[in-house]
């Protein structure tokens, strides 16, 4: 039914089958593709290959005026916005814990993360939770949405999200 009502649905993109063949693989690929040393260009074509054509990346949080909100970016907008920072500062994001729920062709992954400028940094400069929504079209996994919020002193990560739920 979706194929009939969503033109272009399931449209093939070139992706390494090892990146999209399992839920675990696509999660690892997303974290790997955005991570790298200062001065290192990221493989943005690899990133594009992981995401559904209508995907969105949505940071949420509170601004300096205390207003809570969210802003949705396309994959291209996210790349344009993030590329200068990631390549100048160095950026390594890694998953600390994961909780997964699936039904039919969809999955929701609550992925607790931490970010460092270098893998050698003793402490992360940021932690938070990435909420991934994914689709399996029967051939591969696609990231449809990543919606996230960073940890703050007023909103610390709950202990139950610091370990994976099996």
90-99 residue pLDDT tens: 999 999 999 9
> In this structure, what CATH number is given to the domain that contains residue 135?
3.10.450.50
Residue at 82 is within a domain: yes
Which two structure tokens, joined as six digits, stand for 128?
């938070």
Residue at 6 is within a domain: no
Residue at 162 is within a domain: no
Residue 146: closest CA among 130, 135, 129: 130
Residue at 159 is within a domain: no
pTM above 0.85, yes or no: yes
Residue at 160 is within a domain: no
Q: Is the alpha carbon torsion for 32, 22, 17, 55 positive or negative?
A: negative
17-33 residue pLDDT tens: 999 999 999 999 999 99
């Amino acid at each position: 039914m979706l194929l009939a009502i969503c033109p272009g649905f399931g449209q093939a993109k070139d992706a390494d089958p090892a990146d999209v063949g399992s839920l675990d693989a696509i999660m690892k690929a997303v974290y790997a593709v955005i991570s790298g040393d200062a001065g290192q260009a990221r493989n943005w074509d690899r990133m594009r290959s992981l995401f559904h054509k209508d995907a969105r990346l949505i940071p949420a949080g509170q601004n300096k005026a205390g207003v809570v909100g969210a802003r949705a970016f396309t994959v291209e907008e996210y790349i344009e916005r993030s590329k200068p920072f990631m390549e100048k500062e160095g950026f390594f994001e890694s998953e600390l814990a994961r909780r997964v729920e699936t039904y039919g062709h969809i999955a929701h992954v609550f992925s607790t993360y931490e970010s460092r400028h270098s893998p050698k940094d003793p402490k992360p400069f940021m932690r938070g939770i990435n909420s991934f929504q994914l689709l399996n079209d029967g051939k591969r996994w696609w990231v449809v949405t990543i919606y996230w919020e960073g940890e703050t002193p007023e909103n610390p990560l709950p202990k139950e999200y610091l370990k994976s739920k099996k």
